[in-house]
Structure 1
Amino acid sequence: MPKKILVSACLVGFNVRYNASNKKVTNATLQRWQQEGRVVVCCPELAAGFSTPRPPAEIAAAASGADVLAQQAKVIDAAGNDVTAPYLLGAQLALDTARLHDCRFALLSDRSPSCGSQIIYDGSFNGKTQPGHGVTAELLRQNGVEVFSEHQIDELIARVESA
């Protein structure tokens, strides 16, 4: 049976980002996987009940998703609200979805406090980034799902084809 891949909804063209935009990735292999029914689309924030648009959020204090999962950091929105609980819920729902569909791989949107798999914002709300993982990306990794960013699509394709 072909491997399924969990993919951030914004990367396949859904306007689900905080500002109601998307980050659609145009790639022939990804399109073929969609046609074959191998792409499992997920937006952790929407699954957790956030609306679109919504205030941007960042992991506070230059921390990362691992810190949030360990209850050592919070996710804060631009208005100063603690939105950690819904981010944790969204991460768990994404993991549940990956398990339900036996997804061993995920293609997630970088820089997001949920889906960032290489880079996330530093919590200052001034556009600065840092190396790190979002809450969902980290929870998936901790549970054996290989996570790739939209900038690593060639690596993902190679990994899926070799699996």
Structure 2
Amino acid sequence: MMCPELLGGFHTPREPAEIIKGTGIDVINGNARVIERSGKDVTDIYIDGAYKALNIAKEIKATVIVLKESSPSCGSEHIYNGAFSGVKIAGEGVTAALLRKHGFTVMSESQFVAKMY
């Protein structure tokens, strides 16, 4: 198991962050940012963690990657809407988007459990 946010340099606990004006692929393409509730831009940390996770996935030849839903890194179906209001929207986080872009199968923990049973 790994956490892209920790790989990028965050510690736990950490301040909540959300993708502003887009989804994970927009962050990767430079069209959206990841911002902490306090207003600090942490986009580069999320991108760095995503690329480190991608490199690990390639190295271990992962076939399926299970990610934590709703996270600005790992959301594979839903992320928070960027208003820090608790509202979720359809979309994926930075790491999920990067992994999919590189051909990996990505799913949430609930999707994984559903496939197992």
Instruction: Note whether the superposition's TM-score is higher than 0.5.
Output: yes
Of the two structures, which has the highest relative contact order with CA contacts closer than 8 Å and spacing of 6 or more? 2
TM-score of the aligned structures, taking structure 1 as reference length: 0.69
Count, aligned residues: 117
CA distances 1:39-98 after superposition (whole Å, capped 9, x unpaired)? xx110000111010110000012x100100110000000110000000000000000010
Residue in structure 1 matched with residue 107 of structure 2 by the alignment: 148
Is 1:46 the counterpart of 2:6 in the alignment? yes
CA distance in 2, matches of 1:113, 1:85: 13
Q: Which amino acid aligns with 1:45?
A: E
Residue in structure 2 matched with residue 79 of structure 1 by the alignment: 38
- Sequence identity (%): 46
CA distance in 2, matches of 1:154, 1:55: 29
Residue in structure 2 matched with residue 110 of structure 1 by the alignment: 69
Confirm or deny: 8 A CA contact 1:148 1:156 kept in the other structure.
Answer: no
Residue in structure 2 matched with residue 137 of structure 1 by the alignment: 96
CA distance in 1, matches of 2:68, 2:74: 5
Cα drift, residue 154 of structure 1 = 3.9
For structure 1, the residue ranges without an aligned partner over 5 or more in a row are 1-40, 159-163
Q: Which amino acid aligns with 2:51?
A: Q
For structure 2, the residue ranges without an aligned partner over 5 or more in a row are none
CA distance in 1, matches of 2:94, 2:115: 20
**Equivalent residue runs for 1:17-96 within 5 Å:** 41-61=1-21, 63-96=22-55
CA distance in 1, matches of 2:46, 2:65: 17
Query: Which of the pair has more CA radius of gyration?
Result: 1
> Helix, strand or coil: the match of 1:113?
coil
